[in-house]
Structures are given as C-alpha cells and as structure tokens.
DNA sequence: AGTTAATCGAGACGGTACGTCTTGTCTTGAC
DNA sequence: GTCAAGACAAGACGTACCGTCTCGATTAACT
C-alpha cells in the first residue's frame, strides 16, 4: 500500500538547509549583540556567509528574519509547573516570565512587538507563533483549576488571561514601573480574586 | 531695581515660530498619511518648506519630532466625566479611550510605543508626557471614590490603574482580540470587583 | 565485420540539437528586441525554454552566444554581383552593405564590434567568421579586375580593401556622418582612382 | 557700471570641486589599471573617497564618468606639426596617432567607442569632444595645403579626412592587421594620390 | 546707522543599507 | 551523459535617507 500523500519532490536543486540554520543563528547572534534596530540584512548575510539574494529569496525583509530567528530560539519553552493548585501553577509561571522579561529575552520581545506596530505581518506572526500558544497553555491550566473546583466555572477565560498577563506586557513595553515579584504577586491576587471559589 | 531673573533675550535672530508650527503640522499630516514607519526627515522638511538643518537644530531625530507633533495634537484632551460615582466615571472614560484607540489615534499610539521600543528617549518622552498625566488623572478620580466610600481605602492605586488600563494597551498593541465595549465592561468589572465596598 | 573506425557513440543521452537551435533563435529574437546591452543569459534561457547550465555548458558567456547567433542568422549572404566590371561589382556591393548597415543589421554589427572591444575572443570570432570571409570575397573580385586589365596589377589588395570598406565601418561606428549613397560613391571613386588602368 | 551678465550664485552649498577632480583622477587610474570593462561605480567612489550619491548626482552612469575622465586627461593634445607641406604634416600626425593607438591610449579609445555602441549619449560625447575637434584640426591643415597650391581646390575635405583616418580606426577596432608605419604610409599615399596637384 | 550674532532656505556631501539584478556554479531527479 | 529546474555565492547596480556641512540672505537687539 502506497503512502497516499507522498511528498512530491520539486524539480530543481533543493533548498540548502545549512543556509537556513546559519542565517537564523547569525541573526540571533546579531540580535543579542546589537539589537533589532541596528540589525541589517547585509550584516546577516555577511555573518552567515550567505548572499543577500538567498535572504531575500526566503524572507521579505529583516522583520521576518528576526521574527523567525526569535521563534526558532524560543520554540521549546512553554513550561507551566504542575502541582495540585492551578492558581499556584499560573502564578509561578508568571514569576518565571517576568524574570525572563527582565533580561535579554525581554529586550527582544519588546523590539519584536515594537517592530510589529509598523508591520502587520510581523505582528501577526508574533501573535500566532508566540502569544497564542502561551495563552492556550495558560487556559489549559486554568480549565484544570475549574475542573478541580478551585476556580468558578462561569469565568471568562479569555478575560482572565488578559487580566493576568496584560499588566506584565504593559510594564515591559511602557517601562513605567518595575517588573518585580511584588508586582506579580499583586496582579495575580487582584486578577484571581473574583474568580476564586471558597474551598 | 531690575528683576534679578529677567529673561535674557539672546543676541541674534529669534527662533522663527512659524517654522515650528509648520514642522509639527507637516509631521502630523505625514503621520496620518503614511504612518511613522515611512515618515522621513526629508519628507517633513520638504512638506514644511523648511531646511533639514532647521529640523536637526531643534530635534535630535525623527522620533523626537513625531513625538512632539503627536503631543501637540493630543495635548488638551484628558476628559473624565464627573458624576457622583467614581467607578462609573472611570469606566466611561475607558470606553472613550477604547473608541479613540480603534481609530487613527490608535494607530499613532501603537506606532509611537513601537518606536519607543528601540529608542529609550522617545519612550521616556511618551510615558512622561502622555501616559503618566493620564494615570494621574485616573488616580485622582479613584481617590475621590475612596473618599466617598465607594472604594476600599486600602487598595493599591498603582496596581488598580494597571489592572484597568493594561488590557486596553495589550489588545491595542498585540491585536489578538477586539477592543469593543463588551471587552471594556468585562475588564472594568473584574478589576473593580476586589476594590468595591458594599454600600 | 565491424567498421574499425566506427563513430563511437558516447555513453549517455546525446546532445539535444533542438536546444541549440532554440537558443540561437531566442538570442536573435532578443537581440532584435532589446539589443545586446540588455541581453542576459537568464533571458535567453527563459525564452528558449532551456536551463542556464545548458547555456554555460556550450558557450563561455553571452558574448559567444550572441556572436554565434548573429553568425547563424547572417551566414549565407556574401553576395557580390557578377558583371564584366569588377569595379562596378564591388561598388554595387558596397551600396548593398551600406543599406544593410542603415537597418537592424547595422545595429547588431555595431553592438558586436563594441562588445568585442572589451572581449578579445568575441572580437576574434567576429573577425574570423564575418570580416575575413567578406574581405576575401572582395579580394577575389578585385583580382578578377586585375586579370581583366581593369585594375593595375601592382596594387596592394589589402590596402585597397581597407580604403574601400574602412570608411563604411568608421561612419557606422562613430555616427559622425550619413551612410548614404553619395558617401559610398565618393569613397569608391577616391579609393579606386589610384588603382584604375586607363582602358 | 555693473556687469550686465553677473553670475547668479545658486542658493545652496556650492559644488565641491575637489570631489570632481578626485573622481576623474580615480577613474583615470582605474581605467589604466583594469580597463573599462571592469570599472565599477563603487570602485570609483571608494578610490576617490567619495560617496556613490555624489557620483550619481553629477553623472548618469559609469559610461559618462569614464568619458569625462578620458576627455579630461586627453584634452590638450591636438598636435599637428607645421612645416611648409600640409601633406607631410598630416602624414606625420597620422604616424603619431598610430603610435599612440598602439599603446594605452589605444585601449581606452577602443573601449570608449565600444561602450558608445550601446549608449548613444556616450558616443555623442566622444564624437563631439574627441573626434570632431581632431577632424577640424586636420581639415584646417588640409585647407592650408589647398591655399598653398599643394592640393586640388575641388576636393571634398570631409571625404578626404575619412579616407585618411578611417583605416586607422578600422584596424584599431577590428584588429585584423597591424597599425604600423608601413600601413600608415600606404593609406596616406593612396588617399592623397587623387588629391595632389603636380608642382 | 552700523555691528553683531543667531537663524533661516537651499542643497551638496560622506556614509550606509536598501532591495534588485546578473553572473557563473552546483545539485537533484528525469529522461 | 545530457537535460530542465532552480538554489546558491558573489558582488555591482541605482535609490533613498541619514546627519553634517557650507553657503548667502534675513532679522533683531546691541552698539
């Protein structure tokens, strides 16, 4: 029995996978070193030992390369702890997130979101590949909390996730206050307050 | 006897005020037309009938011009209604803000914040001149609510303002959901819930 | 019994002769349309439905392809009339040549010679395949003139051919004057003058 | 009394004349070293310490720069000897010209004419600035020959100049024979033959 | 009234990156 | 062994802005 959806190899020379890897690695290195604002396509090409034509063949501009490079480097880590309290799990993850956002990751996320404000496709890519999977994971944990009788069953999950994470992004992007543990504790407490069931 | 701190008019030709006005108007027009990303200093100079040297004499770069132009156009409007319920007043203003952010103002705010992610001075200017005055006004209204016995006196005002406004900025910047009235009602309800006193 | 020196058919797929024809036709069409300057190997390949590798397998560069295409299209026509006056025959052919050089052929010849100025192989190919055969044909006619007692037997043929044809190329390439019939009559008269025998 | 046609200085920063000089010098040096075919605008800019924008502000392309540089370097030399025989003077200059064309000047002239075959403006510039002045000088000498009774007064000067110089350009450009003294003697003799008056 | 100095417009300049284009090589599977 | 398809490195192309600069012209307060 044949594989029904067998891969139809296209005609010409196949895409050189080493190039892709080298480009994304070079981009990540440069993002680390100089940030997005001073990232250039020429710099990426030179660092990766790749011609500019190859860059432009596969990505429309530096926004797209940066986004894919960031996604490539950030892919595997959506890590919620798993104890018997969903509220504690989400709160712990919020602390981890804030810690990450205080460092190099924070600068990158800020710059990518900033970049997205002038480039709808980049923003869409960021939301699709980064934000929504994390929100989905959070909602899964919260649904567990509902099933366990920890949270009210009639809460609006979407709204609760916004209430929990929006303040973190707000402070990350506006820098009008610290992203410290006290702040996280405060927003977790006030966001969870109307959703908690007495036990 | 002379006034000791009298304004010492400098020697040469005074700054041409018409230029400033024309520059800010041209910048606002261009921001409306092409957005921040495609705004250029050369474009502003040409549109305002002004030389680039004049631009660079008074502003360090296009970020600063854009920010000042935006501030100039947005200056007068911080308008909280004033009824006998502070909660109702803040909620009403949130609806107004969301409405503004669904239009041209929203695009500008998005782009300016985006721009700020790669340019600390611009971000600081935005926070100082735009965000903080609005937060202060909101806190004033909320303090009135405390004084009137509508809100608990032990709430953390800073945190409450974040809880109220962060979700609006979050959806404005990430575009992962609508900024509609239902959303505003939801976040107002959940953010105010733990702060309300029974009457 | 086998033929001892039989043609050893090479192992693989034989050269596709259709390709060669299509390539030369495509090249001629493009030369007609856009001229040599804007002729590209990619354009030829696309038009001929042929891969670039095939082009580079058989020709070293676009100069060579263009030259061969031109030769292919121009091959058969070296046509001197044949009357009983060699002088009249050569003069008539000069008029025909000038007429051709006033049209599309002239543009091609100009561009090919121009191209040859930066590419010795191309120039050599042009001289070998185009110029020398025509000069040889002219010299044959002139030798007939000598044999018939129309021209002096001690003339330097090489020099006479130069005197007859160089002014045509000169005006073709420098465009400092018209290539019209009066001009041809003039140079024929002055070039033949010292070579004619009184009859 | 004022100068009626006083020079109206244009408004902005005046053109930097050092740039022009450096560009032309760099171009001449590069033409000497690598020839026209491998001359690049980027190379000129780098060598002259000038930005590419400046190059493109004043010249439309590398052809124009090369032409102007060549003219700048070749400007002053139109040198006909002046004896009491116009024929001898022209012949002597033809020998000098052939000598120059056997060297570096010849390569440049070949490449510039070649370049002109695909670029009408460049060719026009060459003809106007190089060819025509030299032809005019030759015609002046020939007119002297007529006035002195050395040449027939009814000759067509334009045609005679073509007959004298076309073969030189022909051999320069087609390289089908040597540009040596014997050749020059031959064409001078045959071109002057029908124009000489018996003394 | 003449001097002085800051400001203005215009626009040339060195610099940098852009995104496109062409060249000539290479790789793969089909024939 | 040759073909079509097409990815690849290299590098020049011409354009667009950047931020700086050099002019002459303008405009007031201070001589």
Question: So what's the architecture of C77-195 in CATH?
Answer: Orthogonal Bundle (1.10)
How does DSSP classify residue D130? I
With CB atoms and an 8 Å threshold, state whether B114 touches A113.
yes
Domain C17-73 has CATH 1.10.10.60: yes
Tally of CA atoms within 13 A in the half-sphere of D13 that contains its CB: 5
Lookup: nucleotide whose C1' is closest to A38 CA: E17
Select from D159, D185, D142, D140 the least CA-distant residue to C171.
D159
What is chain B's pLDDT, residue by residue, as a tens digit (199 residues)?
A: 443 434 455 666 666 788 899 999 999 999 989 888 899 999 999 999 999 999 999 999 889 999 999 998 886 666 899 999 999 999 999 999 999 999 988 998 999 999 889 888 889 889 998 999 999 999 999 999 999 999 999 999 999 999 999 999 999 999 999 999 999 999 999 999 998 988 6
Pairwise CA distance, residues C124 & D138, whole Å: 32
Contacts of C37 in chain D (CB under 8 A): 118-119
Where chain D has pLDDT below 50, the residues are: 1-7
**Of the partner residues D117, D124, D195, the one whose CB lies closest to the CB of residue C113:** D117
| Residue D53 contacts strand F, CB under 7 A | yes
| A18 closest-nt by C1' vs CA | F8
The interaxial angle of helices A181-192 and B157-174, nearest 10 deg, is 90
Calpha distance A68→A71 (Å, rounded): 5
pLDDT band for position A13 (cuts 50, 70, 90):
confident
- Name the packing angle between helices C104-116 and C17-34 (round to 10°): 100
Across the interface, of B123, B173, B186, the residue whose CB is closest to A113 is B173
Token representation of residue A66: 């940066």
Q: Which residue is nearest to nucleotide F8 (CA to C1')?
A: A54
Q: Which residues pair with D196 in a beta bridge?
A: D151
Please write the tens of the pLDDT for every residue from C70-105: 988 886 666 799 999 999 999 999 999 999 999 888
CB D138 within 8 A of CB D90: yes
* Closest Cβ opposite residue A111 in set B118, B169, B176: B118
In this prediction, residues A130-154 reach a mean pLDDT of 95
D194 touching C, CB under 8 A?
yes
d(CA C131, CA C168): 13
Q: Residues in chain A, how many?
A: 199
DSSP tag of B47: H
Nearest-angstrom CA–CA distance, C24 and C48:
8
| Assigned CATH topology for domain B17-68 | Arc Repressor Mutant, subunit A (1.10.10)
Distance B9 CA to E5 C1' (A): 12
Query: CA-CA distance, B181 to B94, in Å (whole number)?
Result: 9
H, E, C per residue of B1-53: CCCCCCCCCCCCCCCCHHHHHHHHHHHHHHHHHHCCCCCCHHHHHHHHCCCHH
Distance of CA C78 to the CA centre of its chain: 9
Residues in chain C within 8 Å Cβ distance of D183: 159
Instruction: Please determine, for residue A91, whether its predicted confidence score (pLDDT) is greater than 90.
Output: yes
Q: What distance in Å separates residue B132's CA from the closest CA in chain A?
A: 8
The pLDDT of residue D76 is 64
Q: What Cα–Cα distance (Å) separates residue C111 from each residue in C32, C42, D116?
A: 11, 19, 9
Q: Where in chain D are the domains?
A: 17-73, 77-195
Contact between B161 and B137 (Cβ < 8 Å): no
- Please indicate whether residue B162 or residue A119 has the higher confidence score (pLDDT): B162
**Helix, strand or coil for residue A50?**
coil
Indicate the average pLDDT of chain C: 88
- Chain B residues inside the 8 Å CB shell of A165: 170
Residue C182: what pLDDT?
Answer: 97
Q: Which of residues 14-73 of D touch strand E (CB under 7 A)?
A: 14-16, 19-20, 49-54, 57-58
Interchain CB contact of C173 with D (< 8 Å): yes
Residue A3 pLDDT exceeds 70: no
Assess whether pLDDT exceeds 60 at residue A182: yes
Asked if residues D84 and D147 have their Cβ atoms less than 8 Å apart, the reply is: no
What pLDDT, on the 0 to 100 scale, is given for residue B1? 40
Tell me which of C6 and D53 has the higher pLDDT.
Answer: D53
Task: Say what the pLDDT of residue C1 is.
Answer: 42
Residue among A114, A119, A176 whose CB faces B118 most closely: A114
CATH number of A17-61: 1.10.10.60
Quote the tokens at residue D199. Answer: 């003394």
C-beta atoms surrounding B63 within 10 Å? 21
Q: Is the CB of C8 under 7 A from strand F?
A: no
A174-183, B127-136, C110-119: least confident range: C110-119
Distance CA B102, CA B168 (A): 11
């Amino acid at each position: 029995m044949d594989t029904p959806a067998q891969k139809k190899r296209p005609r010409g020379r196949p895409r050189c996978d080493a190039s892709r890897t080298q480009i994304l690695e070079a981009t990540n290195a440069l993002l680390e070193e100089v940030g997005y604002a001073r990232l250039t396509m020429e710099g990426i090409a030179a660092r990766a030992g790749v011609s500019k034509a190859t860059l432009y063949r596969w990505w429309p501009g530096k926004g797209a390369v940066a986004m894919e490079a960031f996604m490539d480097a950030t892919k595997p880590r959506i890590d919620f702890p798993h104890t018997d309290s969903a509220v504690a799990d989400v709160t712990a993850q919020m602390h981890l997130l804030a810690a990450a956002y205080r460092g190099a990751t924070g600068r990158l996320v800020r710059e990518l979101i900033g970049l997205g404000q002038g480039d709808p496709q980049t923003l869409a890519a960021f939301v699709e590949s980064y934000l929504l999977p994390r929100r989905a994971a959070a909602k899964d944990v919260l649904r567990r909390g509902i099933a366990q009788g920890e949270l009210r069953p009639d809460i609006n999950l979407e709204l609760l996730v916004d209430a929990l994470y929006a303040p973190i992004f707000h402070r990350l992007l506006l820098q009008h206050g610290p992203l410290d543990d006290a702040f996280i504790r405060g927003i977790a407490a006030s966001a969870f307050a109307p959703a908690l069931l007495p036990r």
